[in-house]
Structure 1
Amino acid sequence: MMILLRRPGLQPTLWTLAILLMLVAAPLATIFVDTLSSPAWGEVLWSRLSRNLLWRPLGTTMLIGLTVATGCVLIGGFLAWLVTMTDIPFRRPIAVMATLPFMIPSFATALAWGTLFRNDRTGGGAGLLQGMGLDVPDWLAWGLVPTVIVLTAHYYALAFTVISAALSTVNGDLVDAADMTGASRRRVLFGIVLPVVTPALLAGASLSFAGAVSNFAAPALLGLPVRMQTLSTRLFGMIEIGQTERGYVLAIVLIVVSAVFLGLGNRLLAGRRSFATITGKGSRPRRIALGRARWPLCGAALLICLVTTILPILLLAAASVAPMSSSLFSGWTLHFWIGEASPQFARGQAGIFNNPQLLTALKVTLGLGLAVALVVNAVGILVALSTTRWRIPALTETASQLSFLPLLLPGIAFGAAYIALYGAPIGPFPALYGTPLLLAMALTAATLPYAVQTGRATIAQISGEIDDAARLTGAGFLRRLGAITIPLASKGLIAGMLLTFVTVISDLAIVVLLYTPSTPVLSVLSYRYASDGFHQFANAVTLVILALSVVATVLANLLRGRKGHRE
């Protein structure tokens, strides 16, 4: 027993496991326990209310998820094939732009869609196209179609990243052998390339599906005005009106839906014998000559990237200074940014930078982003060390599974779990609902998988001999962590902190359930403005979020550059 207690890394691993139990396991266990003896299961599953509470939202959710997953694989796979395996011009700019849509919050793309296509069916202001005299049909302005398009435009970057990485490993000798046999380009694509990247296609589809079914912003902004409900919006509605147990049941259903789809993907992969594309033999990339199709395909790729990255930002910028979206390029004013409150303009609303709530939300959001980025990456390093360096049976595997569990959980369901556990007092500890601490804990847990992945990649590059040498000289764990691990892992930590910060300041699904007027955040403020019909203010706040993301990215690159120069 004493030998086990003296095992290197045991105490830090136990600390790590305790943190993961508190952040991940305990909230999820609570929503299950709270519903076991509740009539909410019967009310949601088989009562007269079930059709509107569960089955219709579930059907809409599944339709959105499957359609978005298909669209993301098609668009992301198409762009990945072009930039990885063909001689298309502007490969590098296309590759960069294809990764950007995921950095733009989905509610920003939804707001941009409304600026362009919104009609006056719901009593609000018309969009640009209707202002130009065009009759925008309801199905294009609201509901299922725009929600699917917006979510596909947001999540195809995930599929592109995964599929392009897989395509880059395809051995050019396979393509050469097919060419020598006279195979057509279509035969090469469907007979060789697609089969060997099947895992990437399934991974891209799974990630896109999980993101789409758990997304709250797009269906809320584009669907709720016409009473289109998904599981995420219905869950939000249940908790907002105080029917928390029904909301917890819907959260469990949402978790199960995501887990089942991801499990099916893994089962399909297990059914195949081999997807190996990297062998011990040397390989070289081979780019397919597109011939006459080279420039038309390049134009199509650039159009997709521009429409999903540059156009939404331009529309939001114009709509934030235009009094009416129907006249987007006339009568511009900075009132929505810096104007004083006036009963003759914008229903008495002051510009966002004259609104005390905006300034408070800005402080809270920046504080949350920085705090969560620091804490989650510190926890990520601990998890990475326990799973890659110390490897203690049972404990290490449990820590690894818990650290990646949030990746499978819809954000709004995660927020519900935190309300269930920490929304009420626990023994001598007060309720955390309405405090920045609860927001920080939930966001830390939700972004943990990204920090762990970054930490693993970084720790793997640091030789364990360095840490062993310091330990033999008597240096304690914290001393070794601060003097050796963190300085050597600084580049990876900066990248992980950037990803966490950008995710936190743009997140809506988790914080929409946890925020209160005393803890406003920018993303919820933008959503509230849009829900109340103040689209110009919503656009302006969204542009502030985008500006913060860009500034954080630039600063992170500068810090990494200086660190690299010193080394």
Structure 2
Amino acid sequence: MTTLALSTAPVWRRGVSPSLLLGLVLCGVLLVLVAAPLLTVALATVGEGRGLGVWHQVFTGRIAQNFLWSPLANTMVIGVLVALGTIVVGGFLAWLVVLTDVPFRRTIGVFATLPYMIPSFAAAFAWGVVFRNERVGGQVGVLTDLGFAVPDWLAWGMTPTLLVLVAHYYSLAFLLIAAALASVNADLIEAATMTGARPSRILVGITLPVVIPAILSAGSLAFAGAVSNFAAPAILGLPAGMHTLSTRLYGALSTGQPERGYVLAIVLIAVAALVLWASNRVMAGRRSFATISGKGGRNRRFALGNWRWPWLALAGLILALTTLMPLLALLTSSLTVRTGDIFSGFTLHFWIGSSDPAYAQGQPGILRNPETLNAIGMTLAFAASVAVVSMVLGLAIAYAISRLKRHPIGATLNQLAFLPALVPGIAFGAAYIALFGAPIGPFPALYGTFVLLVIAGAAYTLPFTVQSGRAAMEQVAGELEDSARMTGAGFPRRLLAIFLPLTARSLMAGGVLTFVKILRDLSLVVLLFTPATPVLSVLAYRYASEGFLQFGNAITALITVVALASTLLAQRLQGKAEPWLDDNRGEAR
């Protein structure tokens, strides 16, 4: 009887905890959602007896220069210069907000966090509204319409791509550098000043050692985002014949060359992963500096004197050009009869107009067009579904990692959950096509289905949601769960009665930000898009590519407004006062 009782008892009563079982199940899930697609991409380049033939074609064949090496060079230039630009712009704004007495610091701090929430293709479209010239035909921008000769290098190619991406990513640098600067104790600076140290010496000896890790993190994240960005190079670079790895990858898969495209995907993953790995290695090898004392940290704000207003004007110009102007340009162009011609008259046709042969070959406005209305519903459902699935999965993974900190399963979960952060969005989409584009045993192909969009989006956002889940877990004391376990509450009961109520606010904020990330994404979904699964970001890109600029700009403006409103909601739900916006700090007089 004893032997029978032991054999039929639940496994956790025989030494296997529910946390370990959960960890094993989640490892299996992540192997399918993350590891298997990436492995399939690699195998697809050497399968079916091809050997290394595709690799030789891409790296050394006749197509190598135009297909790989030139796009790779453009990609690296974009990545490096965007990383440097974001550090300069974001670092400048962080310095103003945290360490100076510039007026309207709080306003600057709020607006400096918004550009990253604006889709990069929105900024690219807005650039075209102003600077588009006659190079590619069709409607021109405002400056050309007013009689200015806009040179090709300013309208298309590398320069506008760099400027748009710096404007999109500098918020990352601002957030990281501002947080680092806020941790510098004024006592250290005052002590150095009393000993006669010059400002330059204080900067190099005290401030920079604290800020350099944040600068490296910001630069590496901006580099990884820039090299994988598809929207800006496609919209602004392709008309000038400038290709990057992401645009070549999209072209290869769109023209029936999947194996060559998968080679580019592996190269793109390797480039992004190598930079992030190198950045982490550099930061891990640096000495740590203690900057918080038992007296409580405080900032010292330096008086700018007569420079207060010039610096404020420069900050205001940066924020206006990167936040207000893109939205204004998109809204205005969607209301004009001809894009870029503000004197052609205004119309609401591109928003609510019925079919009229005089406008856009008879296409109705986006809010009356069945195709765009279907895309609006599909996109909102897609983003909401990804937010729910990703947050639930992220919370479960965070729970398992926190309970299995010293177990190999916990370490494996942590590595698998972080892996998508190393994979550019367009490469991740290619991986899902490679795995789920054909039937797997009894399971049908998922390409072109809503299910594929959701699982790809959920897997792609896992690094973010797992971190959000871990932050939420830290709010709940372990004693609460231990007490509930001692009273006989099972895992589902503990989850519903303890964790969800106590972390609901943080989880909801994280879910809203995940919703925004998917809503404004183009790189991930551009390869997964089909007529059966229309997504607003791809629809806007296709409208613009086909010359219907007002429709594309109207859709993009709609996405931008929803994204910004959702971001502000998430910030309100989080209810956190940013440390650099705390006015209860010492200021220089």
Q: CA deviation at 1:553?
A: 4.2
1:359 equivalent among 369, 373, 380: 373
1:278 equivalent among 292, 300, 304: 292
Structure 1 residues 145, 497: closer, same or farther in 2, change over 3 A? same
CA distance in structure 1 between the aligned counterparts of 2:69 and 2:59, rounded to whole angstroms: 8
CA distance in structure 1 between the aligned counterparts of 2:570 and 2:72, rounded to whole angstroms: 41
CA distance in structure 1 between the aligned counterparts of 2:555 and 2:533, rounded to whole angstroms: 16
Q: Aligned residue for 1:512?
A: 526
Q: Aligned residue for 2:582?
A: none
1:96 equivalent among 110, 121, 144: 110
Q: Aligned residue for 1:30?
A: 40
1:113 equivalent among 106, 123, 127: 127
CA distance in structure 1 between the aligned counterparts of 2:306 and 2:281, rounded to whole angstroms: 41
Q: CA deviation at 1:281?
A: 5.9
CA distance in structure 2 between the aligned counterparts of 1:453 and 1:36, rounded to whole angstroms: 35
- Aligned pairs (5 A) from 1:144-159: 144-159=158-173
Unmatched tracts of structure 2, length 5 or more: 1-10, 576-589
Q: CA deviation at 1:267?
A: 2.8
1:194 equivalent among 205, 208, 221: 208
Q: Aligned residue for 1:7?
A: 17
> Do residues 287 (structure 1) and 292 (structure 2) align?
no
Q: Aligned residue for 2:562?
A: 548
CA distance in structure 2 between the aligned counterparts of 1:326 and 1:457, rounded to whole angstroms: 46
Out of 310-319 and 477-486, give the one that drifted further. Answer: 477-486
Q: Aligned residue for 1:419?
A: 433
Q: Aligned residue for 2:232?
A: 218
Structure 1 residues 280, 407: closer, same or farther in 2, change over 3 A? farther
1:183 equivalent among 180, 191, 197: 197
1:488 equivalent among 495, 502, 523: 502
Residue identity opposite 2:338 in structure 1: M
Secondary structure class of the residue paired with 2:79: helix
Residue by residue over 1:400-433, the C-alpha shift from the partner in whole angstroms, topping out at 9 and shown as x without a partner, is 1111111111000000000011111111000000
Residue by residue over 1:1-54, the C-alpha shift from the partner in whole angstroms, topping out at 9 and shown as x without a partner, is 977752241121122212211211111111112213432111111111100110
> Do residues 337 (structure 1) and 347 (structure 2) align?
no
CA distance in structure 1 between the aligned counterparts of 2:566 and 2:98, rounded to whole angstroms: 29
CA distance in structure 1 between the aligned counterparts of 2:308 and 2:343, rounded to whole angstroms: 36
> Do residues 296 (structure 1) and 306 (structure 2) align?
no
Structure 1 residues 208, 557: closer, same or farther in 2, change over 3 A? closer
> Do residues 143 (structure 1) and 157 (structure 2) align?
yes
Structure 1 residues 191, 293: closer, same or farther in 2, change over 3 A? farther
Residue identity opposite 1:48 in structure 2: R
Q: CA deviation at 1:313?
A: 0.5
Structure 1 residues 83, 556: closer, same or farther in 2, change over 3 A? closer
CA distance in structure 2 between the aligned counterparts of 1:97 and 1:201, rounded to whole angstroms: 20
Structure 1 residues 139, 460: closer, same or farther in 2, change over 3 A? same
Q: Give the TM-score of the pair, scaled to structure 2.
A: 0.92
Residue by residue over 1:165-196, the C-alpha shift from the partner in whole angstroms, topping out at 9 and shown as x without a partner, is 11111121221122223334344334431232
Q: Aligned residue for 1:564?
A: none
CA distance in structure 2 between the aligned counterparts of 1:536 and 1:99, rounded to whole angstroms: 28
Q: CA deviation at 1:557?
A: 6.5
> Do residues 312 (structure 1) and 341 (structure 2) align?
no
2:506–2:574 Cα contact (<8 Å) kept: no
CA distance in structure 2 between the aligned counterparts of 1:301 and 1:185, rounded to whole angstroms: 22
Residue identity opposite 1:349 in structure 2: Q
Residue identity opposite 2:29 in structure 1: I
Structure 1 residues 275, 4: closer, same or farther in 2, change over 3 A? farther
CA distance in structure 2 between the aligned counterparts of 1:535 and 1:199, rounded to whole angstroms: 42
Q: Aligned residue for 1:432?
A: 446
CA distance in structure 1 between the aligned counterparts of 2:343 and 2:98, rounded to whole angstroms: 39
Secondary structure class of the residue paired with 2:555: helix
Residue identity opposite 1:301 in structure 2: A
1:318–1:329 Cα contact (<8 Å) kept: no
CA distance in structure 1 between the aligned counterparts of 2:202 and 2:305, rounded to whole angstroms: 16
> Do residues 395 (structure 1) and 409 (structure 2) align?
yes
CA distance in structure 2 between the aligned counterparts of 1:271 and 1:444, rounded to whole angstroms: 33
Unmatched tracts of structure 1, length 5 or more: 562-567
> Do residues 228 (structure 1) and 242 (structure 2) align?
yes
Residue identity opposite 1:102 in structure 2: Y
Q: CA deviation at 1:505?
A: 1.0
Q: Aligned residue for 2:182?
A: 168
Q: Aligned residue for 2:537?
A: 523
Secondary structure class of the residue paired with 2:31: helix
2:513–2:570 Cα contact (<8 Å) kept: no
Residue identity opposite 1:418 in structure 2: Y
Q: Aligned residue for 2:7?
A: none
Residue identity opposite 2:414 in structure 1: S
Secondary structure class of the residue paired with 1:478: helix
Secondary structure class of the residue paired with 2:22: helix
Residue by residue over 1:385-414, the C-alpha shift from the partner in whole angstroms, topping out at 9 and shown as x without a partner, is 111234351100010111111111100000
Q: Aligned residue for 1:445?
A: 459
CA distance in structure 1 between the aligned counterparts of 2:493 and 2:126, rounded to whole angstroms: 50
Structure 1 residues 397, 184: closer, same or farther in 2, change over 3 A? same
> Do residues 21 (structure 1) and 41 (structure 2) align?
no
Segments of 4+ in structure 1 off by > 6 A? 1-4, 557-561
Residue by residue over 1:67-115, the C-alpha shift from the partner in whole angstroms, topping out at 9 and shown as x without a partner, is 0000000000111111111111111110000000001000000000000
Structure 1 residues 432, 89: closer, same or farther in 2, change over 3 A? same
Q: Aligned residue for 2:265?
A: 251
CA distance in structure 2 between the aligned counterparts of 1:279 and 1:180, rounded to whole angstroms: 19
Secondary structure class of the residue paired with 2:302: coil
CA distance in structure 1 between the aligned counterparts of 2:174 and 2:151, rounded to whole angstroms: 31
2:510–2:570 Cα contact (<8 Å) kept: no
Q: Give the TM-score of the pair, scaled to structure 1.
A: 0.96
Same amino acid, percent of matched pairs: 56
Residue by residue over 1:436-492, the C-alpha shift from the partner in whole angstroms, topping out at 9 and shown as x without a partner, is 111111110111111111111110110111112222222221222122111111011
Q: CA deviation at 1:330?
A: 4.3
- The RMSD of aligned alpha carbons is 1.7
Structure 1 residues 371, 483: closer, same or farther in 2, change over 3 A? same
Secondary structure class of the residue paired with 2:489: coil
Secondary structure class of the residue paired with 1:328: strand
Residue by residue over 1:320-368, the C-alpha shift from the partner in whole angstroms, topping out at 9 and shown as x without a partner, is 0112233125400011111122222212222112211101111111111
CA distance in structure 2 between the aligned counterparts of 1:476 and 1:528, rounded to whole angstroms: 51
CA distance in structure 1 between the aligned counterparts of 2:571 and 2:79, rounded to whole angstroms: 35
1:389–1:464 Cα contact (<8 Å) kept: no
Out of 536-545 and 144-153, give the one that drifted further. Answer: 536-545
Structure 1 residues 23, 279: closer, same or farther in 2, change over 3 A? farther
